[in-house]
Amino acid sequence: MLNENIKRGRKLKGLSQQELAVKLNVVRQTVSKWEQGLSVPDSDMLIALSEVLEIPVSKLLGEPVDEAEMNHLRVISEKLEVINLQLAQRKITRRKILHGLLLSLCAVIVMINAVLIAIGSPYLSWDYSSPETAVIGVAFHSLEWLFVRTAPLLLIGIILGLFLTRKKD
């Protein structure tokens, strides 16, 4: 029974006798003798064999190895692999979107700065005696003051974000 279970477990894992022997640090002939029933593994080797084949020791020793159960585990592991790949792809997509948004925000800040430099703060020459221009001048001055104070900090944060979200090869 043990020899059949070792052979069946090895084949279900898709391993050759040589591959199984390498994983267990034994020679191929040892695995062959186990499968032919000419010898049996010692207790430590039986535990190692159980771990490599992912079959409980009790099943190796007596219970027949159920092929359907091994296939069920294989299906679950394949599904987990697909889920992991999808999560990795989603993470890459999010990083690319964030990187693009940060680049766009950086461009907007630079353009606003260029516009403010080009127009040269026109509210300084406005006539504040007129209520309409006084309100517009104060609002424009407030926005410009706020932008000039926060833009450098935003730009530093954006550049840091661009550095952190860059493509890593």
Give the integer Cα–Cα distance in Å for 103 and 42.
Answer: 63
Mean pLDDT score, 61-83: 70
Q: What is the CATH number of the domain that holds 48?
A: 1.10.260.40
| Top-confidence residue, 129 or 30 | 30
Domain that holds residue 126: 91-164
What is the rounded CA–CA span in Å between residue 23 and residue 93? 38
Query: Are both 39 and 101 inside the same structural domain?
Result: no
Helix, coil or strand: residue 67: helix
User: What pLDDT does 9 receive?
Assistant: 87
Q: Who's near 103: CB < 8 A, 6+ residues apart?
A: 162
Catalogue the E-assigned strands of 7-102.
Answer: none
Task: With respect to residue 153, please indicate whether it lies within any of the assigned structural domains.
Answer: yes
Tell me the pTM: 0.47
- Mean pLDDT, residues 83-88 taken together: 88
Structure tokens, 79: 């599904």
Q: Residue 146 falls within a domain, yes or no?
A: yes
How many domains does one find in the chain? 2
Residue 169 scores a pLDDT above 70? no
Percent of the chain with pLDDT over 90: 21
Q: What is the pLDDT of residue 66?
A: 57
pLDDT tens-digit readout, 6-30: 888 888 888 898 999 999 899 999 9
Q: How far apart are CA 168 and CA 135, in angstroms?
A: 50
Select from 69, 45, 71 the least CA-distant residue to 57.
45
**Residue 135 domain-assigned (yes or no):** yes
> Which residues, including other chains, have CB under 8 Å from residue 116's CB and lie 6 or more apart?
144, 147, 148
**Model confidence at 69: pLDDT above 60:** no
- What share of the chain has pLDDT > 70, as a percent? 89
